[in-house]
Amino acid sequence: MNENLITIRNLKTWFDTPRGTLRAVDGVSFDIRKGETFALLGESGCGKSITALSLMQLVPEPAGRIAGGSVHLDGDDILQYSEARMRDVRGSRIAMIFQEPQTSLNPVISIGDQIRETVLQHTSLKNDAAKQRVIELLDSVGIPDPKRRYEEYPHQLSGGMKQRIMIAIALAGEPDLLIADEPTTALDVTIQAQVLDLLKKIQADTGMAILLITHDLGVVAGMADRIGVMYAGQIIEQADREQFFKTPRHPYAEKLFASLPGDMKRGQALAVIKGNVPALTQEFTGCRFVERCDYALPVCNDTVPDWLDSDVSCHRFDPNWQKLFATQQAQQMQAESINRVEPAEELLLEVNNLKVHFPVHTGLLRRVSGYVKAVDGVSLSIRKGHTLALVGESGCGKTTAGKGLLQLLPVTSGEVVYDGMDLCRQNASTLRKLRSDLQIIFQDPYSSMNPRMLVGDIIAEGMIAQGIAKTKQQRNDMTAQLLQQVGLPVDSVNRYPHEFSGGQRQRICIARALAVNPKLIVCDEPTSALDVSVQAQILNLLQKLQSELQLSFLFITHNISVVEYLAHEVAVMYLGRIVEQGHVDEVLHSPKHPYTQALLSAVPVIDPATQQEIIHLEGDLPSPLNPPMGCHFHPRCTHATQACKDHYPQAVSFSGTHTVSCHLYATS
């Protein structure tokens, strides 16, 4: 065994809030060995970021304070250090990168100067030598043309590039430990693959340890040597990667795996963790997970589980209690099967060559000098009772396509045929009547409801606008029924949206959409703002509703595992156009387009057995204002030929359902 670099014992970080002391981190202990990657895994609000900030002693003051514990770095307790001494640790011994590269860099200082600042602070290099070192660092994090980039400002770089700059800043002090706080959460999956790869490479070169903080089991599987699972301010399980992914022991960890969507679970309900994370302002007398645990026994309620030799804190693994659990069979819920609708051929809605262009004005007279071609000729067909997934990275135009389809944005050209009518050519009153058939659910459950309206009024709004229920009594009855349908208590009508959690809010949004009896719901990333366990609930609900009400979904997402689980058909979008579409198995299991292949390969997978070679994409998504000539993907494509540069490829059909727009298959 390698020796420990940092030893954290019983760390407590508390926040003073008007509602009492919030014990965000409540007795966390773990070690990180030299050169290893230790992953702290947990859902939002479990205290993993605060743990990281506590190591740096950067907990936001005055609300937060480190209430106890010790952090020994190479034998010295750095919690006892003075602020001045701590400054020599920060950036030099321990460096940190953050989740949001967009905001984490100073916008008015050139990136070179921002890196050089750390070089000057923590090394003896001066002037030209320091600058030279910065250029080396830029080079080492894979920034092309580092000399020129030195003078550039953060806004001139893409998100992935900015995260590389953050890594360069962190490396400048040659730290022993790098804390990476959700380093790729804000990035697209192909960029995520690049950044994770870079971190691995740097670790191999420098031998530094990494404390990786993440909620993504896939990232953990690809990166971590050892794992600590956090729940409600504590570490509840700690294990090696192999062991953890083979048999997670704590009921919470077990549930996390079960709630992940994927193609293996198609047709059955995902496991959900009931209830919510307990409020951290209370004193705990038992296990923190007891309310949500399927195995819970009375002992779990009144005895706090010890941290066991087996590196898990659960009474099930405590020799004293094991017998009790063995006799009492867990009331495990059987994976409920869901009535999955199989393809009917009846078309519900057809999109032909839809274009949504936004004009760009420049020059003296603000003349239109060009167009941002957000959606540039998209054709889709959605069948009754089906789910079509529209997949793509941020900025590819998938949300614009969804809103354009619903006529929520001015459509430039193309047609959306529904019920024999082209929606783009209907007058306002006809369109208004048709709106009840086509609804939308948004990504952010926090901003999709008017905070000043009662839930009852929110749900009834569409009924009133569409004249669905005439009297108030009818509306109230319908609202109550809808709330039951989405699994919320009926008395929710008299409460405000802010009183609900993210998942509950998304349920209200679904109820709101259902209120007007739609045929098609555009689901715009409805689960990306939610934790995995909550995501499972929403996905279950959507599937249940689909089979009950014969709903069609246009499911806009970047999350491939959700697509695998939920979709019947898939369309992959790149820079305003669809590059590949077909049946879910065709597209996901035998992708033809190089972009689809790269995209799928970059998705981190949990099962080490299916770990495959990642196809790395060079660079970033080009601007839709000025897309590359020919095939939009050719500058990043390894198979690119002259033909790709010259003209956009025609769609090639592989089967009745599977079509690909790529020159590779043009001749075959």
Partner 1 sequence: MLAYITRRLLYAIPILIGVNLITFALFFIVNTPDNIARMQLGVKNVTPEAIQKWKANHGYDKPLLYNENKNGSEALTETIFYTKSVRLFVFDFGVSDEGRDISHDISQRMWPSLAIAIPSLIVGLLVNISLSMLLAFFRGSYIDVTGVITGVVLISISALFYIIGGQYIMSKLWHLVPISGYTEGVAGFKFLILPVAIAVIGGVGSGTRWYRTIFLEEINKDYVRTARAKGLSELRVLFRHILKNAMIPILTGVVVIIPLLFMGSLLTESFFGIPGLGSYTIDAIHAQDFAIVRAMVFLGSVLYIIGLILTDISYTLVDPRIRLS
Partner 2 sequence: MNITSNTIAWWQVMPNVLWTDWLIYLLLIAVGVFVYHARRHEHLRAPWRQILRRRLAMSSCIILLSFATIGMLDSIHFRQATDLRDDGSLRYSNESVSLFDQLVLPLKNNTEKTYSAPFATQLYSKENIEAADGSVSRDYPKLKYGGAHLDNAGRDASKDIQNRIVTATWHAALAIVLLTLLFAIWQSMKNKTQLGCVLLKMWRGEQDGLPWKTVITTLGSIILLIFLSRELATVYHVFGTDKVGQDVFYLTLKSIRTGLVIGTLTTLIMLPFAIMLGIMAGYFRGWVDDLIQYIYTTLSSIPSVLLIVAAVLMIQVLIDNNPDAFTTLQQRADVKLLALCFILGITSWTGLCRLLRGESLKLREADYIQAAQAFGVSNFKIITRHILPNVMHIVLILVVLDFSGLVLAEAVLSYVGVGVDPSMISWGNMINGARLEMAREPVVWWSLMAAFIFMLLLVLTANLFADAVRDAFDPRLRN
Residue among 86, 109, 97, 119 nearest 181 (CA): 97
What does the alpha-carbon distance between residue 330 and residue 325 come to, in Å, rounded to a whole number? 8
- Taking CB under 8 A as the binding criterion, the range among 87-95, 195-203, 404-412, 609-617 that sits at the site for partner 1 is 87-95
447 binds partner 2 (CB under 8 A): yes
Which tokens is 9 given? 């014992």
C-beta of 60 vs 489, nearer to partner 1: 60
Chain-centroid distance, C-alpha 568: 22
CA 612 vs CA 220, 598, 608: distances in Å: 15, 11, 9
- Taking CB under 8 A as the binding criterion, the range among 118-126, 246-254, 277-285, 440-448 that sits at the site for partner 1 is 118-126
What 8-state DSSP symbol labels residue 654?
Answer: S
Q: What phi, psi does 506 have (nearest 5°)? A: -65, -35
Residue among 643, 616, 614, 613 nearest 631 (CA): 643
C-beta of 261 vs 518, nearer to partner 2: 518
398 binds partner 1 (CB under 8 A): no
* Residue burial 357-374, b: 16+ Cβ < 10 Å; e: rest: bbeeeeeeeeeeeebbbb
136 binds partner 2 (CB under 8 A): no
Cβ atoms of 376 and 397 closer than 8 Å? yes
Count of helix runs (H) and strand runs (E) in the chain: 23, 22
Type of residue numbered 166: M
Q: What phi, psi does 665 have (nearest 5°)? A: -105, 5
CB of 307 to partner 1, least distance (A): 30
C-beta of 152 vs 350, nearer to partner 1: 152
CB of 113 to partner 1, least distance (A): 9
Which tokens is 416 given? 């959306």
Residue of 28, 46, 95, 287 that binds partner 1 (CB under 8 A)? 95
Query: Among partner 2, partner 1, none, what does residue 175 contact (CB within 5–8 Å per kind)?
Result: none
265 binds partner 2 (CB under 8 A): no
Residue of 1, 3, 18, 62 that binds partner 1 (CB under 8 A)? 62
Residues 143-202 that bind partner 1 (CB under 8 A): 153, 155, 166, 169, 173
List, as one string, the DSSP characters of 309-367: TTSB--GGG-TTTHHHHHHS---PPP--B--PPPPP--EEEEEEEEEEEEEEEETTTTE
CB of 442 to partner 2, least distance (A): 4
Which tokens is 435 given? 């709106």
Residues 624-643 that bind partner 1 (CB under 8 A): none
18 binds partner 1 (CB under 8 A): no
List, as one string, the DSSP characters of 619-651: S-PPPTTSPPSSSTTGGG-TT--HHHHHSPPPE
CB of 489 to partner 1, least distance (A): 37
Q: Can you tell me which residue has the tokens 């979008």?
A: 573
C-beta of 31 vs 457, nearer to partner 2: 457
The site for partner 1, by CB under 8 A, has a size of 36
Residue of 67, 297, 417, 431 that binds partner 2 (CB under 8 A)? 431
Query: Among partner 1, partner 2, none, what does residue 88 contact (CB within 5–8 Å per kind)?
Result: partner 1
CB of 667 to partner 2, least distance (A): 44
466 binds partner 2 (CB under 8 A): yes
C-beta of 447 vs 623, nearer to partner 2: 447
Q: State the maximum Cα–Cα separation within the chain, in Å, rounded to a whole number.
A: 82
Which tokens is 569 given? 């058909």
125 binds partner 1 (CB under 8 A): no
CB of 620 to partner 1, least distance (A): 19
Chain-centroid distance, C-alpha 482: 28
Chain-centroid distance, C-alpha 336: 26
Residue of 365, 427, 429, 655 that binds partner 1 (CB under 8 A)? 365
Query: Among partner 2, partner 1, none, what does residue 220 contact (CB within 5–8 Å per kind)?
Result: none
C-beta of 154 vs 397, nearer to partner 1: 154
| H or E element, residue 382 | strand 367-383
C-beta of 237 vs 524, nearer to partner 2: 524
Sign of the CA dihedral 483, 488, 490, 493? negative
Residues 451-470 that bind partner 1 (CB under 8 A): none
For residue 288, how many C-alpha atoms fall within 13 Å in the half-sphere facing its CB? 23
Residues 394-413 that bind partner 2 (CB under 8 A): 403, 406, 408
Chain-centroid distance, C-alpha 171: 26
Residue of 21, 70, 92, 657 that binds partner 1 (CB under 8 A)? 92
Interaction site with partner 1 (CB under 8 A): 56, 58, 62, 84, 87-92, 95-96, 98, 100, 103-110, 117-118, 121-122, 153, 155, 166, 169, 173, 362-366
Interaction site with partner 2 (CB under 8 A): 403, 406, 408, 431-433, 435-436, 438-440, 442-444, 447-453, 461-462, 465-466, 496, 509, 512-513, 516
